[in-house]
């Protein structure tokens, strides 16, 4: 079980994930999620557009965090330094408290094609947002596109390691390791 979340949105998220794990995504209704969370279906829809979005509200927060960090990077940062600052900002989101939730979420998503598709769309949206942020910093289009794609690639690989590794290595450490590997790869 995850940490106790006092807010309705948090309870709905926990309830949805528990039910998806038990009965599968297709076998779960909004009414059941609301019921398990102790709220009405109306409350559910005040927080989420549908039963898929319950698991993706965090993606927008994450993207916002990374885009803000990118914009706040020092003007003299190179494109990859600025991208690295953005990717490292994810550590603020993926802290130790969130790891258990992230692991369980990943298990549900991996076993549900519809959720996996949605995850891919969110990653594509993140890439587009970072690309846009780099363009706004005056980075040349072909450099911005590559830096954004590479940044998201580093994030994905680091995140996968973060949830699959035993123990509690912070994601920032895995991001640094991935960047080092990448630099060696493309040298």
Q: Please give the residue ranges that form the binding site for its own copies (CB under 8 A).
A: 78-80, 117, 120-121, 124, 142-143, 145-147, 149-150, 153-154, 156-157, 160-161, 177-179, 181-183, 185-187
Token output for 56: 């993706």
CB of 182 to its own copies, least distance (A): 5
Pick the closer one to its own copies by CB: 1 or 185: 185
Q: Measured between alpha carbons, how far is residue 89 from residues 17, 28, 49, 185 in Å?
A: 25, 34, 27, 24
Determine whether 17 is exposed, middle or buried from the number of CB atoms within 10 Å of its CB (0-12, 13-18, 19+).
Answer: buried
CA distance 166 to 173: 14
CB of 168 to its own copies, least distance (A): 18
Pick the closer one to its own copies by CB: 38 or 141: 141
CB of 159 to its own copies, least distance (A): 11
Pick the closer one to its own copies by CB: 61 or 181: 181
Pick the closer one to its own copies by CB: 97 or 185: 185
Cα angle, residue 122 at apex, residues 126 and 164 outer, rounded to 5°: 95
Helix 79-88 with 113-136: angle, nearest 10 deg: 140
CB of 107 to its own copies, least distance (A): 18
């Amino acid at each position: 079980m995850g940490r106790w979340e006092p807010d309705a949105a948090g309870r709905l998220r926990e309830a949805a994930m528990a039910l998806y794990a038990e009965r599968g995504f297709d076998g779960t209704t909004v009414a059941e999620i609301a019921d398990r969370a102790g709220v009405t279906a109306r409350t559910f829809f005040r927080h989420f557009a549908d039963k898929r979005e319950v698991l993706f509200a965090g993606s927008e927060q994450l993207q916002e965090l990374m885009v803000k960090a990118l914009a706040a990077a020092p003007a003299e940062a190179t494109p990859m330094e600025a991208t690295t600052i953005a990717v490292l900002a994810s550590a603020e989101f993926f802290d130790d408290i969130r790891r258990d939730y992230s692991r369980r979420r990943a298990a549900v998503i991996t076993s549900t094609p519809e959720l996996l598709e949605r995850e891919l769309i969110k990653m594509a949206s993140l890439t587009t947002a970072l690309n846009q942020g780099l363009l706004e910093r005056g980075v040349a289009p072909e450099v911005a596109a590559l830096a954004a794609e590479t940044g998201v690639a580093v994030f994905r690989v680091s995140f996968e390691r973060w949830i699959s590794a035993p123990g509690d290595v912070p994601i920032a450490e895995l991001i640094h390791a991935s960047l080092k590997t990448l630099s060696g790869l493309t040298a």
